[in-house]
Amino acid sequence: MHAHRQRFNLTDDHQLTLVIPSYFPTGSVEVIVLSDAMPLEDKALSQAQMASDLNAFFELLKTVPRSGRTLEQINAQIQEERDAWDR
């Protein structure tokens, strides 16, 4: 997989033209647009709404059956996964 990162200024007309360097492989590509700012519609999300959503998530978690594993078993599985990364 190849990646190309470049900063752009998105203007008020919300149009962007990308020119990719010639060394970049041709063919099918995927474009992902990231912004440091929150989307305009998300700015209206209040702290109270975020807290309400989080509380709803915690209530949902209470309905999920437990796995029956101990903390030690869970930590051992996590360690096995981490050890596999180094192989």
What residue ranges do the domains of the chain occupy? 40-85
Give the list of residues 6+ apart from residue 4 with CB closer than 8 angstroms, or none.
20, 21, 24
Prediction pTM value: 0.36
pLDDT number for residue 44: 59
Q: Spell out the per-residue pLDDT of the chain, length 87, in tens.
A: 778 788 888 888 888 888 888 888 889 888 888 877 766 655 556 777 777 888 888 988 899 888 889 999 999 999 999 999 877
Contact (Cβ atoms closer than 8 angstroms) between residue 50 and residue 42: no
Phi, psi of 50 (to 5 degrees): -60, -40
Q: How far apart are CA 60 and CA 54, in angstroms?
A: 10
The reported pLDDT for the residue numbered 39 is: 63
Rg (the chain; Cα; Å): 22
- How remote is the C-alpha of 41 from its chain's centroid? 18
